[in-house]
Amino acid sequence: MFELLGIPPQALFGQLLLGLINGAFYAMLSLGLAVIFGMLNVINFTHGAQYMMGAFAAWLLLGILGIPFWVSLVVAPVIVGLFGIVLEKVLLKRIYHLDHLYGFLLTFGLALVIEGLFQWKWGSSGAPYPNPIPGGFNLGFMFLPTYRAFVVVAALVICLATWYGIERTRLGAYLRAATENPTLVRAFGINVPRLITLTYGLGVGLAALAGVLAAPIQQVSALMGVNLVLVVFAVVVIGGMGSIMGSIVTGFGLGLIEGLTKVFYPPASNTVIFVVMALVLLIKPAGLFGQTK
Amino acid sequence: MAETLLKVAGLQAWYGESHILHGVDFEIRRGELVTLLGRNGAGKTTTLRSIMGILGKRTGSIAFDSKETIGMSSDHIARLGIAYCPEERGIFSSLNVDENLRLPPIVKPGGLSIEEIYRLFPNLLERRYSQGTKLSGGEQQMLAIGRILRTGADLLLLDEPTEGLAPVIVQRIGEIIRQLKSRGFTILLVEQNFHFAATVADRHYVMEDGHVVDMVASSDVQQSIGKLQTYLGV
Amino acid sequence: MTTQRVGYALLIVLALVAPTFAYPVFLMKALCFALFACAFNLLLGYAGLMSFGHAMFFGMAGYFYGHVVKAWDMAPELGLLAGVAGAALLGLVTGALAIRRQGIYFAMITLAFAQMVYFFCIQAPFTGGEDGLQGIPRKALLGGLIPIKDDKVLYYVVLAIFLFGYATIYRVIYSPFGQVLKAIRDNEQRALSLGYEADRYKLLAFVLSAGLAGLAGATKAMVQQFATLTDVAASTSGEVVLMALVGGLGTIIGPVVGAFIIITMQNYLAATGEFVLVIQGAIFVVIVLAFRKGVVGELAEWWKRRRAG
């Protein structure tokens, strides 16, 4: 077999696939974060916990009720999204008039509570979720597990559907307009507070959907979202939160960069995204796709 | 004589700590075109915003079609059939012209169709896929007026639609406003440009320091011109 | 003013006799976190910058201290100095990048850098990875004059360090520099138009805060004789925010009160495991929703109201 720069192709493509999968999660999560921030002016620190809840919901639905993966893919995000709606109605809506900082602190506190409770109930070691589509294809240069291919495709579809929903539909027009000038949109007769609640529910549902997709790949554990959300913050700083397509491209791109780093210089693979963030801050402080705000 | 569509009585309003309106009283009958005249800071824009319900604190009474709206949220008020065209026009930059036009939802039957609106403003049709804020000032103003015609609202609140526009465009907007009146819309117009206002309105209310201090019918404008000039400081 | 002086005098007397009735190691730990929280609050309360990554300065300084004292076998004073200097330098680099964005982005950037430092510490050889640096010797201070093996002696050293740090922050806040910082916090555009280079002031405040957080972290390593990943972790960054918030942002004594409350709480709840996190999270929620002024801020408010009517 041929080699590229001294790297066997199996390793290279294997890591690229892993990078693509990580990128898929970065894209889905940063997308939700950006949509929520646009409407609520809150950086949703609870995003990682809600991702974890998605995975847990699928795991519990399977373990207790025997509900299969494909049903959970729809049901789990709905359950977690409804939980998000309750959070918004009971807690978040009380702090919109305050500085952004308080939303950050409030959702950070919520993340601690949620993750602490899950850890208390189910421990932190994690449980496996069976692979719904085992097997794979031999592509000659690498082995491609079917489920992983499915995750990449599904994430792309989800991201593009979100983009379409926001950029091309009537509800999306309401969202974009309300992000710019909620007062005027409300004066046109649109129930903006309800729109805000709905947006939060959708953003949270998106995080949970990512969690369901992650369940068969990762261990389902209370702390699976803790480090992920911090990386996603860096992704959001790099991409800027102004553009939906920007979030998607940045997410996948950074996943690939991370994968390549794992091949060529493994010790830096954990930190490379933060290095990219530092470089972007130096060169284009507003972020790759961001306007200064 | 037509029924009263809007009756404002003893309206007081605040921006944060500052008390802007100190008891505003006036009324508009269905099908009328009425202006609020007055100097900068007299409270005209605040009056419109109060009617629309987008001010933090207001007291008194605003009855629309005999329904009291003082405690309602602005989306609720809009759904009764009041539409607002703000002074800063409020065109959304993340929406194209067509999306801007279709944004306000239809609240009752009787509004203009999209085709009728484009016929009224042919420029907008040409540029319908441009970003809303890429239009010229005059086109943005037409878009801001155009998009509230679809909703079926009976009462239009127009805040200084001629501000900063070239005379030809002001003339065009005058024609459109007269056309709207003839279609049966009731219009409350805030204007600084008295000469423009005089050509379109039935009656004028004059505001000073957060009160309505006078009312002049269009037919009496000639006799009252001296008095009006004193009010407006022109 | 006089009430304040009497208050401070009482507190100092209390601090001097505290080891007679409280466990000195607990007191020292609380003092380290109190200084850490004051350093954090200098930035948030007086410059309006919320760093969500302050653990990187606190934790790294502990490693620097441990490395200098244990691996290089040098005097503890040099260890403290290395902790402060290293943290300040780290503050200079991360601060210069972070102040390029404002508001909530600033918080996310500092958080991300702290996470980068955390991952670095897991892998770097000199931190001891998952085990951390253990068994840092307690060598005598001032060339052998002050033996710190005895907890009660060390307590007074730590108290002195804390008072030094506290006094520094006090001086900074009431200096012309502190006034400019507050002006920038309240209205950056106006400060800029008055000719102040806001970014330089912010950066200096950041470096100062990082250095003082480093002093706290190095002192903690001196007391506990170890430096571990916990002190650089995001949870520690969150804890210091919580301490300042509980005590009262923008009040100079608030973070001290907050630190003692949180450390005491952790002591009592240590046995309940995950519930420490749940309760800390719940405190965040309650404070943000209902007591944004914190303990000291609310008390001051209550006192003012009582005097007024």
Q: What is the pLDDT of residue A291?
A: 63
Residue A292 has pLDDT above 60, yes or no: no
Q: Which two tokens stand for residue B183?
A: 């279609």
Query: What ipTM was predicted for this assembly?
Result: 0.94
Report whether pLDDT(A1) > 50: no
So what's the pLDDT on residue C171? 95
In angstroms, rounded to a whole number, what is the distance separating the alpha carbons of residues B177 and A69?
60
Residues ≥6 apart with Cβ < 8 Å to A232: A26, A29, A30, A33, A47, A48
**Average model confidence (pLDDT) across chain A:** 92
Mean pLDDT for chain C overall: 92
In angstroms, what separates the C-alpha of A39 from chain B's closest C-alpha? 14
Instruction: Print the domain residue range for B172.
Output: 4-232
Domains and CATH numbers, chain A: 10-121+147-283 (1.10.3470)
What is the β-pairing status of strands B57-64 and B67-68? antiparallel
* DSSP conformation letters of A195-257: HHHHHHHHHHHHHHHHHHHHTTTS-B-TTTTHHHHHHHHHHHHHH-SS-HHHHHHHHHHHHHH
pLDDT computed for residue B141 by the predictor = 95
Of C119, C238, C284, the CB nearest to A106: C284
- Structurally, how many domains does chain B consist of? 1
Q: For residue A161, is pLDDT > 60?
A: yes
What is the mean predicted confidence (pLDDT) over A192-204? 96
pLDDT digits (tens, 9 = 90+) for C220-263: 999 999 999 999 999 999 999 999 999 998 889 999 999 999 99
Report pLDDT digits (tens) over C86-114. 999 999 999 999 999 888 899 999 999 99
Cβ separation A117–C274 shorter than 8 A? yes
Minimum CA–CA partner of A195 in chain B: B75
| Secondary structure (3-state) at B13 | strand
Interface test with C, best of A42, A47, A90, A113 (most C CBs within 10 A): A113
Domain residue spans of chain C: 24-233
For C284, which of A112, A120, A278 is closest by C-beta distance?
Answer: A112
Percent of chain C with pLDDT over 70: 99
Q: Do chains B and A touch (3 or more CB pairs under 8 A)?
A: yes
At a CB cut-off of 8 Å and minimum separation 6, what does C288 contact? A95, A102, A105, A106, A109, C245
User: Terminus-to-terminus CA distance in chain B, angstroms?
Assistant: 34
Q: What is the mean pLDDT of residues B176-193?
A: 93
Residues of chain B contacting A, Cβ within 8 Å: 52-54, 73-75, 77-79, 83-84, 86, 90, 92-95, 99, 102-105, 107, 148, 151
B/e letters for A64-74, b = 16+ CB within 10 Å, e = fewer, are: eeebebeebbe
- In angstroms, rounded to a whole number, what is the distance separating the alpha carbons of residues A106 and C287? 9
Residues of chain C found within 8 Å of residue A105, distances taken between Cβ atoms: 241, 245, 284, 288
What CATH number is associated with residue B62? 3.40.50.300
> Which among B30, B24, B23, B22 has a CA at the least distance from the CA of B5?
B30
What would the mean pLDDT of B21-25 be, rounded to a whole number?
95
Residue of B nearest to A180 (CA): B92
Mutation for C interface: A45, A96, A274, most C CBs within 10 A: A274
